[in-house]
Amino acid sequence: MLTHHVLFWLKADTTEDQKKAFRKGLESLEKVETVKSIFIGTPAPIERAVVDTTYTFSLITLFEDLAGHDVYQTHPVHLAFLDEFRVLFEKVIIYDSI
Choose among 28, 96, 87: nearest CA to 60. 96
- What span, in angstroms and rounded, lies between the C-alpha atoms of 83 and 29? 13
Choose among 72, 75, 51, 74: nearest CA to 61. 72
pLDDT computed for residue 5 by the predictor: 98
Topology classification of domain 2-97: Alpha-Beta Plaits (3.30.70)
Q: What is the pLDDT of residues 10-27, one digit of tens each?
A: 999 999 999 999 999 999
Q: Report domain extents, the chain.
A: 2-97
Q: What is the pLDDT of residues 37-54, one digit of tens each?
A: 999 999 999 999 999 999
pLDDT computed for residue 56 by the predictor: 98
Cβ atoms of 50 and 38 within 8 Å: the answer is no
Mean pLDDT of the chain: 97
